Structure 1
């Protein structure tokens, strides 16, 4: 159970005035295990990833008076997804391309700046980074070029650096020699493909820094005359094994590594349905016939780790989501269930041992990564309190599992429309929703434990799913290719409150654009989120009514945080858009507070 030590023991104001860095070092050994009301010291404001602030100076009665307190421009205009960390008197943020900046939490004045060397190879999935971790006098960041770095919390100087993985390992998807055999448009330009990268904010626990690899089954992303297309080619060559790794925070030494794809169990039980009984439209006979030929497909099996895991401090287990199998979408060269991709997994933090796995989508052909961070909470089932882990799926349901056993307790009402879910692609095309963007994407949810509600940033962006023959004579292992084509005209977003005991929707707001970035819940009975057109807003947790908004030029596509400094509550969010989604990119950190006289 997370403890708000600030409220319980009422740390005296004099202690809070201990010099910045000494205070940070004093707290370093415990910040990963407790929540201080004044700070936001971990990615999810506690190991459970609830993203809930117990501060309530800003509340539904006065939020309409919220105003911009200060703004910081990083100078790097690209997809800006950082979740600020606040410890003592400072904020710590990461930028696209992995620069790290320390700011005065009250004024936004830059204290120090670390500039990471420019990567020699283009990242699979763009330049975005989702944040840093701070503990024991160090600031940790995983980089898009495969490094884990530790910086001095006081000065920003590099303490140590360790190569987590060589990003040159992969064979990226290519259309060379094949474009004339594909009906993809003559101007197709590759904007992304499978390769190792690291985007997630690290999780710190005890003496460990935990990070995961992304891009292991990213797939071929093309910019065409008809917009973005995500292409699946079952070539049997492309793909990587995603993994979680733990490192000693003092030395950078790797302690353990868990691969999301296990060769011995890759095939699984040939599931024809999901755990809740929905058909997956699989041709099991054809898959089994191909299983001997592709028995080693697990070696390139995908299963990225996109976002920061949650940790149960009582058991030491961490809970993570895994990405889709590789090759993305086209499954002709990977027969079987493709365990443990598109799953929620429980891992023992002591040794990296898998405790259980719950596969949301066996043999995933739709890019339904489990990408939104898992969140821990207690719920009530049949009159009994159960320790649970929840996750907002790309499928459009919020899944609630028993975190001790992995048993599915229930899944929520859908929080986005579902059309032709798990449909097989056709040559003429079949429109499905959610499409490959989700449901909910990497956006973290927030939980108000007092109200027993979870708040989800949702995406409605239908996509037409095609499978077409390759118009070339070839001895390649595949003769077809698959792709998604998005319907830009029908897209919108949803902000949804779901009851954690029943799974029912408490309220839902439709937003102009698909929501990408996440939510913040506060004890002031507020939920904060942002739109891709630049609006940042707050709604009432009880009714969903919009109570306040602020509009500027860049997409608000990052998770908000809240902290207190010198007795004043602040709300902070990065505004830097998202290039893939078409939201205007920028470089601003926006920080809001009430006027001094307003309470």
Structure 2
């Protein structure tokens, strides 16, 4: 650990003297307590909506920088983080598993924690971190060597840390933890290495594991140190022993619906990508569905038992992870629903009580892999658009190449959408792209990539790739769309001021009219924005903040699209904005 303190202790004492500790009630009301942000998503339901309206359509044009903070050093990689705010201090994670405490009034650093990462970590999609969570007098965040760390809010000292899984086998951890009733709840990353997706719950005070829930059928859960129940039914939807390396990484974390007392986690792609090896290529009777990969899963937060599941892409064969956030909302008729915009290009509405399918509609254009979604929520496959079986090739090598839309990076990838209860719309960051994809033979080796596929991502329109869409969840209609030349890869935030904020790879933080989509304001931050904007109130004034620092999966995996953005500068900084007070 590397910890840097300010030269004078007076600043530290003044900034932290009033910390009393974040309670379960504080977390439950995170969206409505406008002076704090203590959870990822600005509330455990992850609506990313603020009731603040001091910055609004009429005056957002006057927004100017209050301060900026450099994350420094040579560790300038993708900054996908979301800042947290508590008691006058901003807590923000950075690439390479770093965490900073910053005075929100001055932008001065209070302390810094650097994880001591071992050689040989295996992050698939850049060395990013998406944020932390605050509870009591501690802040919790994950590291690239698949650990969860609890730090003292005042000093940055380690209180406890624990291993989630073995990084040498391909596990890592990049998402923000979730806190529910004194439990720190985490997922894992590493789906491209044949790991097993799992959700774990630990005592927030001690770090002791309370329960674990693997999300691939055949694996046993635990409760209080003892085996509990098996996930699913052994070999019901997986052939042979492939379930043992079945993927399904829970890499984007989860949401919590207080009304039903349910955690909702998504599971990533089944492993390997080559669907023919998993009986998904030709089995249409459910035996090749590969549960619970590419699914949303409702979990009891006290015991880790699965309440329900909804599989967005059974028989998955395009790397359409099912991890995207599941956001509780109330529809136009007063029904309690979930919404999720899947990597496969469809926007789903589910029932909150049992995860049952309500509706689905495409939110990206020219989808090729499926003709639509049937009345049960199951895809109507275009079988000719499945990558070919290598076994059918003359030399037993590369299978038939197909061009599929969307690409494996998805109609929507990790970047979180926002929901405005004020106008009922969801604001979904998406990308319009496709890919050449083919299958290849592959065998599992611990710590090695386990794909059995090759791919090249390509744009499908000449004038844009990124697309921010305002979607009516009651109809699936797109009410407005903002088109961006480069892929959108950052989070979205909505406010009661009638605004929607998001960033672009070209470096701009932008504000749009939530009702019309009109661009009202922008600011150039000097590097691409792939972070998650937030807003809060300090001493009666509203602030907006975002991390700037280009990176993430696009420059690493983006094929022809990566060439389109290779001129973008990397960086690592936090920008904070306010409207000056007129005397």
Q: TM-score range by the shorter chain?
A: 0.7 to 0.9
Unaligned runs of 5+ in 2: 1-12, 219-231, 281-287, 371-381, 389-398, 443-450, 556-567
SS at match of 1:77: coil
The 5-angstrom pairing of residues 331-480 of structure 1 reads 331-333=276-278, 336-380=288-332, 383=333, 385-421=334-370, 423-426=385-388, 427=399, 429-467=401-439
Q: Which TM-score applies when normalising by structure 2?
A: 0.82
State how far apart, in whole Å, the 2-side matches of 1:434 and 1:266 are. 32
Cα deviation, residue 46, structure 1: 1.2
The 5-angstrom pairing of residues 52-451 of structure 1 reads 52-75=49-72, 76-125=75-124, 126-168=126-168, 170=169, 195-215=170-190, 217-218=191-192, 239-263=194-218, 264-265=232-233, 267-268=235-236, 294-333=239-278, 336-380=288-332, 383=333, 385-421=334-370, 423-426=385-388, 427=399, 429-451=401-423
Cα deviation, residue 136, structure 1: 0.1
CA-atom RMSD, angstroms? Answer: 2.1
Cα deviation, residue 331, structure 1: 3.6
Give the count of matched residue pairs: 501
State how far apart, in whole Å, the 2-side matches of 1:331 and 1:119 are. 36
**2:21 equivalent to 1:46:** no
Cα deviation, residue 200, structure 1: 0.5
State how far apart, in whole Å, the 2-side matches of 1:527 and 1:316 are. 29
SS at match of 1:553: coil
The 5-angstrom pairing of residues 554-573 of structure 1 reads 554-573=527-546
SS at match of 2:338: strand
SS at match of 1:455: strand
Cα deviation, residue 316, structure 1: 2.2
State how far apart, in whole Å, the 1-side matches of 2:290 and 2:143 are. 28
Which 10-residue stretch deviates more, 74-83 or 118-127? 118-127
State how far apart, in whole Å, the 2-side matches of 1:369 and 1:532 are. 23
SS at match of 2:100: strand
Cα deviation, residue 47, structure 1: 1.6
Give a deviation string over 1:333-385, Cα, whole Å, max 9, x none. Answer: 455210001011100000000000000001211010123221111114xx4x2
Cα deviation, residue 442, structure 1: 0.4
* Residue in structure 1 matched with residue 549 of structure 2 by the alignment: 576
Q: Is the 8 Å Cα contact of residues 266 and 339 (structure 1) preserved in structure 2?
A: no
Give a deviation string over 1:419-458, Cα, whole Å, max 9, x none. Answer: 3446212455221111100010001111101211110000
Residues 321 and 584 (structure 1), Cα distance of their counterparts in 2 relative to 1, 3 Å cut:
farther
**2:479 equivalent to 1:484:** no
Q: Which TM-score applies when normalising by structure 1?
A: 0.80
Unaligned runs of 5+ in 1: 1-17, 171-194, 219-237, 270-290, 471-479
Cα deviation, residue 20, structure 1: 5.4
Q: Is the 8 Å Cα contact of residues 274 and 440 (structure 2) preserved in structure 1?
A: no
State how far apart, in whole Å, the 1-side matches of 2:340 and 2:538 are. 32
